[in-house]
Structure formats: C-alpha cells, structure tokens
Amino acid sequence: MQTDFYSSAPLHMRLSDLPKGFPATVPSPKFQIGDYVRWQPQPTEDFGIITGLHYAPAQPLQSWVWKYTVWLAPSSPSQHWIRSDMAWESDLELVPITYDRILEQP
C-alpha cells in the first residue's frame, strides 16, 4: 500500500478509515492557534507559536491524535534552517509568555 511520506497514512483513505464515532469522539485539542509552546525535552529545545492543527492518524501511537504546526521563534535553535515544524500533541508543552517577547529578535 502506498503511504504519505509525512504521516505514513494511506494516500487513498476511505470514510470508514476515520476513528469510530467521528467527529463526536474527537477529543478537544490541548493547544490552540496562538499558544506559545516548546518541544518537551528533546536534543534541541525548539519553541514557537501554534499556527495550525489537524487531527491525523499517528502510526507510531497506533491512534488518531492532534498534530500541530509551530512557527519557530527567532531565537529557537532550529530557526536558522527551518521556519516552522510539525509536532504531535504529546511532544509539546505550553510556555507562558507574551507575544511581544516572542517576536523580539535575538
């Protein structure tokens, strides 16, 4: 079966491939657009603002979960070679901070 490079989801999904009881059984996302987050301890501790989210099948987790697009802050370690990144909900944590501090240049 051919799969999507980024999510390992089948390219030709059927309506029956959605989670049982969809959409009523979809949990609320932990983060919202505009939330400031960082990756939980990883080799690089990137951080930024949530700019998008979608509910997707996560093969490593064997379930459907929320996945987020994060626009990296100017001082985030990976920002020198990538502007935004994607992360599963379990890989992120909320960081209390104000927008004016996020947008400051290093």
Cα–Cα dist 19/87, whole Å: 20
**CATH number of the domain bearing residue 96:** 2.30.30.50
Question: Is 10 among the domain residues?
Answer: no
Question: Is 17 among the domain residues?
Answer: no
Instruction: Say how many domains are in the chain.
Output: 1
Question: Do the Cβ atoms of 50 and 69 come closer than 8 Å?
Answer: yes
Write down the pLDDT at residue 3: 47
Average of per-residue pLDDT across 4-21 = 64
Write down the pLDDT at residue 99: 57
Question: Is 60 among the domain residues?
Answer: yes
Question: Is 94 among the domain residues?
Answer: yes
- pTM of the predicted model as reported, rounded to 2 decimal places: 0.75
Per the structure, the complete domain to which residue 39 belongs is given by: 29-102
48-94 pLDDT per residue, tens? 999 999 999 887 777 899 999 999 999 898 989 999 999 999 999 99
Question: Is 63 among the domain residues?
Answer: yes
